[in-house]
Each structure stands twice: as C-alpha cells, then as structure tokens.
Homo-oligomer: A and B are copies of this chain.
C-alpha cells in the first residue's frame, strides 16, 4: 500500500499519502537530514488517504497533535486543498460556462495555432451575449456613457443635446460630479427615481417607490442577495426555494453555495413550457417533508425555455404563493424579448396589484431586471435593479446593510440602467435613431426566433417549442439507446456527449439540457438565437446534418 522505498525516493503519490506517512517521512527526514518528500505532493488527510491508512479518528487526532508538536505542520502541504475547501462551493455547478465552454476556448486556441479542423471558427451559441454575437450597441446609450466618462466632451458639438442633458443629470448626482465616486449602496438616487417611473409607465400607473428600488451588479447580484436573506434554519426547517426545471443555473449554483434546499418544479414541455399549479402543489408537498419551503422563483420570459407566461398563469402563481405563504422572486430580465403573436409580457407586480389589496397588500415580491438582455444586450456593464414589494421594513434595512458591504454597484452600469429606463423621448433629437436601432434589433430577434423553431422542427428526432420570448431555444432531442449507453459508460450525461461531439465536429458550442435540468430520460440542448440570420441558418443546417449523422452512427 505504501512502500518505504517510495517514501525514501520521495516518489510517493498524493493519493497513497496519509498523515501518518508524512509523520514517518518527517522523522526519516530528521534522522537523515534529507527531504524525502516533495511538499507539492502532500495534502492534508484526504478522504482517499483516510480510507487507505484507515486509522481511527482518535488515533489520527493523536498523530495530528504529535505532528504539530514536532513542527511538521509546515510540511503538511497546502493549507487549501480540494479536500479542505468549502464543501458548499464544490457542490456549485454552472453549465453555461462549464466544461463544454472550456473545451470551446481550447479549440479556438488550437485553431489560432493552425490546427486542422473540419471548421474554421467556433460559433458560441451557449450564452446570451448579444454584442459578442455582433449586435451593435444603442448609439445614444454609448454617447451618454462616453460623456459621463470624459465630461470634457460636453463641449463637443457633435454630441446631441439630449445625450448631454442625460449625462449632466447623472454627473450632478455623482459625488464630486464623477462616475469614479462611490454611489449610495442602494444606487444613485436619480437613477432609482427613473427606474420607479419606468415601472409605473410599464405597469399602467401602478405606483412604484424609489425606496423599494435597489440597483445591482447585473440581475444575478440582486437574486443572490435576496436568496441570502431567505436562507435560515437547519435540518427539516432549512429554507427551501422552488425553482423551475429547466432552470437558469445561477439559481441552483446560488442555492448550493448558500446551503439552501433546491425544490424542483417541472415546466410542462407539452404545453410550451407553461407552469402547472398542480405541479407546484406536488413539488411543494414533497418538499415540506424534508425542508421549509419559503420562496418561489419564476423566470418570465423563460430561460432556457423561451416561454412567455399568460396573465392567467401569473395570477394563479400569485394566488398559490399567497396561500402557501411563499416569497415570490420574479426574474424578468427578458421583459422586452417577446416575439410570438398573442404573447405579451405581464409583470408579476402589475398582476399582483390588479388582483386587489387582499394580495397586493400582502404577497412579498422581488422583481429583477438587467441591462444585459432585451434590445440593449449590455452584459459587460453589469447593470441591473430589483424592486421589492411588501418587504418587512427591518428586513429592508438588513438588505441595505448587505448592499453597503460591497459599497456600491458599478456606477457606469447604474448610468446605463438609467438610460434603459429613461431613453430618448419622442420630442428629443435622438429619438428616431434610438427607435430605429431598438426596433431593428428586436425585429431581427423575432425573425431568428421563428427561423430557429422552424428549421429545428424539420429535423427528425428534434422537437422545438415556439421561442415565444427571451433569447434561447431549448429543443428536445431523441437519443439512440447506444449513445445513452456509451455516455453512461463514460460517466457523461447523454446530451453532454451529444454537445461535445457537435463541438468537435462542427465548432458549434451549445449547452446540454442536463446543465439546466430536465425530466429523466429526456434530452435537450440550449441554443441562443443571437447569431446573425445568415450565421444562424448555417448553424442550424450544421446542427441538422450532425443530428442525422449522430443518430445514424448510434443506430
């Protein structure tokens, strides 16, 4: 199991190593004055080595102490190892930037270095990164950001007046008139006021209070902050949070990190990924056996599934949350991304207030928005906001405190958020151009959503729900038994095998459905609709050919 020779030679492998061996080695070292071990090979007692040296905890304790007394600690190898790090962090998974994306980056490198591949470029359809896929920024937004960054440009006649007035207003509300100053932790006052007014316009006049607006570092930041507040209890009373399956993996990742219980409710693929209250009830009842369900998360329009929820469905969900005493978290970052005819975005807040005081005075709701999606797609600025409704004032103070520890969200992102909620008005010089740019982007997305659904549904073995909104298709793929077996043997999810093969053979980077969750025995992938129409057509044809080839090879 462990040879003295290997010990003397210092060729001991990490996995053969237990603390007792280090202890022995340290003594040998003291006798011979020679270092027998490469410290890089050593690690604190790992589960494997524990199994190997198989000592009682007590015995190990004694050795640990002896080692410390003998100053061997410093030869114990690294302080921080995979065995001694935060176990909750190890549980975190994030498929959108997971192994498949790592491999894609590797392949790009190989191509740069002249490697021969059956394709000339990697097409990344794995992440909702509009600008990376060639979408142009809104001119007005960038003009204002340039003016805020370098106010000397306020004297430049080539900048439109409305851009300058926006920049002046933002700068006036920054400490020292600079976006380089910290803002209030909750966000710049005038930006929060503009957000509140935007929400009121969006929701047909239902009032919004700037004190309930928190500017955030993208929507993710707000979602994580809210989950942080909600997590409490141990064992059976540990906080559980209901999330849709398929989900956006930020939720599972945050819950794993916080050690909260993830409660899955399944979307109804047959009904275009709609939400069933009966499924919510099933999932909640099951969860109540082992945890304390306290919150319900909804993504509308849906990521990765692209559905747009009906007003009726939202009303039912709110009633369910009220009855079951659940805190509602509405991820509404795709609120401008609605394409399908007859579909319309309804904010949870609007529906909540239209349901009357019995609900609007009671149901606790946090709604999230971002600068990263919709028609602007400004992911890199990490701008966002959340609005909290019916939040306990003392909890709100705690939320503000929590925000203050991180000092403030990035101010350029706050400025951008302000422009999103306060774009050029019809009477302003930049209005026409703004409208033209916004419509062009949204129309192109609508066209690509239709195109994606149509082409994918022509492929035998692929069925794709209509992409009603958001930026993704999440088609179901039939997987030959042989492929499933091979994947299982490799310890891979079958759709991971599928996507890896697709990447290697075509250079197309998609995310396997297993990264978002799906009903057992079903397989999917998520593909963004962001590539240019021409590129998207090529991409879809390549997927088609690959799927036929793949199915054939495994039949």
Indicate if the CB atoms of B85 and A185 lie closer than 8 Å. no
Q: What's the Cα separation between A273 and B231 when bound, in Å?
A: 39
Q: What's the Cα separation between A413 and B412 when bound, in Å?
A: 9
Which residues of the partner chain B approach A129 to less than 8 Å between Cβ atoms?
Answer: 175, 181-182
Which residues of the partner chain B approach A179 to less than 8 Å between Cβ atoms?
Answer: 380-381
Q: Report which residue of A142, A257, A327 has the largest number of chain B beta carbons within 10 angstroms of its beta carbon.
A: A142
Indicate if the CB atoms of A327 and B131 lie closer than 8 Å. no
Closest residue to A221 on the B side, CB-wise?
B406
- Kindly state whether residue A32 has any CB partner on chain B within 8 Å: no
Within 8 A of B (CB), among A135-184: 135, 137, 142-143, 145-147, 149-150, 153, 174-176, 178-184
**Residue from B81, B149, B361 in contact with A392 in the complex, judged by beta carbons closer than 8 Å:** B81
- Closest Cβ of chain B to A12, distance in Å, is 17
A137-B231 contact, Cβ under 8 Å, with A79-B326, A325-B79, A379-B407: no
Indicate if the CB atoms of A410 and B150 lie closer than 8 Å. no
Q: What's the Cα separation between A322 and B75 when bound, in Å?
A: 9
Which residues of the partner chain B approach A175 to less than 8 Å between Cβ atoms?
Answer: 129, 131-133
Indicate if the CB atoms of A90 and B364 lie closer than 8 Å. no
Indicate if the CB atoms of A362 and B39 lie closer than 8 Å. yes
Which residues of the partner chain B approach A295 to less than 8 Å between Cβ atoms?
Answer: 79
A229-B410 contact, Cβ under 8 Å, with A85-B398, A97-B185: no
A90-B398 contact, Cβ under 8 Å, with A131-B180, A221-B406, A407-B220: yes
**Residue from B294, B379, B406, B411 in contact with A220 in the complex, judged by beta carbons closer than 8 Å:** B406
Which residues of the partner chain B approach A153 to less than 8 Å between Cβ atoms?
Answer: 146, 153
- Closest Cβ of chain B to A250, distance in Å, is 6
Which residues of the partner chain B approach A181 to less than 8 Å between Cβ atoms?
Answer: 129-132, 379-380
- Closest Cβ of chain B to A404, distance in Å, is 4
Indicate if the CB atoms of B402 and A361 lie closer than 8 Å. no
Q: What's the Cα separation between A395 and B43 when bound, in Å?
A: 12
Within 8 A of B (CB), among A69-85: 71, 73-74, 76, 78-82, 84-85
Indicate if the CB atoms of A89 and B379 lie closer than 8 Å. no
Q: What's the Cα separation between A43 and B390 when bound, in Å?
A: 13
Closest residue to A394 on the B side, CB-wise?
B82
Indicate if the CB atoms of A394 and B81 lie closer than 8 Å. yes
Indicate if the CB atoms of B398 and A79 lie closer than 8 Å. no
Indicate if the CB atoms of A40 and B361 lie closer than 8 Å. yes
Q: What's the Cα separation between A79 and B388 when bound, in Å?
A: 13
Which residues of the partner chain B approach A324 to less than 8 Å between Cβ atoms?
Answer: 73-74
- Kindly state whether residue A509 has any CB partner on chain B within 8 Å: no
- Kindly state whether residue A253 has any CB partner on chain B within 8 Å: yes
Closest residue to A408 on the B side, CB-wise?
B380
- Closest Cβ of chain B to A199, distance in Å, is 21
Which residues of the partner chain B approach A86 to less than 8 Å between Cβ atoms?
Answer: 228-232
Within 8 A of B (CB), among A304-329: 322-327
Indicate if the CB atoms of A182 and B380 lie closer than 8 Å. yes
Indicate if the CB atoms of B405 and A133 lie closer than 8 Å. no
- Kindly state whether residue A332 has any CB partner on chain B within 8 Å: no
Indicate if the CB atoms of A78 and B364 lie closer than 8 Å. yes
Q: What's the Cα separation between A493 and B437 when bound, in Å?
A: 57
Q: What's the Cα separation between A89 and B228 when bound, in Å?
A: 8
- Kindly state whether residue A401 has any CB partner on chain B within 8 Å: yes
A180-B379 contact, Cβ under 8 Å, with A86-B229, A149-B149: yes
- Kindly state whether residue A378 has any CB partner on chain B within 8 Å: yes
Indicate if the CB atoms of B85 and A180 lie closer than 8 Å. no
Which residues of the partner chain B approach A40 to less than 8 Å between Cβ atoms?
Answer: 361
- Kindly state whether residue A254 has any CB partner on chain B within 8 Å: yes
Which residues of the partner chain B approach A176 to less than 8 Å between Cβ atoms?
Answer: 131-135
Q: What's the Cα separation between A410 and B216 when bound, in Å?
A: 12
**Residue from B253, B254, B376, B391 in contact with A80 in the complex, judged by beta carbons closer than 8 Å:** B391
Which residues of the partner chain B approach A132 to less than 8 Å between Cβ atoms?
Answer: 175-176, 178, 181-182
Which residues of the partner chain B approach A410 to less than 8 Å between Cβ atoms?
Answer: 217, 380-382, 410, 412-413
Within 8 A of B (CB), among A342-396: 361-362, 364, 376-382, 390-392, 394-395
Indicate if the CB atoms of B89 and A398 lie closer than 8 Å. yes
Closest residue to A325 on the B side, CB-wise?
B73
Indicate if the CB atoms of A405 and B362 lie closer than 8 Å. no
11 contacts between A and B (CB under 8 A): A74-B322, A79-B295, A85-B395, A94-B405, A133-B176, A135-B176, A143-B150, A146-B147, A146-B149, A180-B377, A180-B379
If A146-B147, A379-B408, A410-B410 are given as contacts, then 15 extra A-B residue pairs at C-beta distance below 8 Å, sorted by A number, are A78-B391, A80-B327, A85-B398, A89-B228, A131-B176, A132-B182, A137-B180, A142-B149, A142-B150, A143-B150, A180-B376, A220-B406, A381-B411, A382-B409, A412-B412
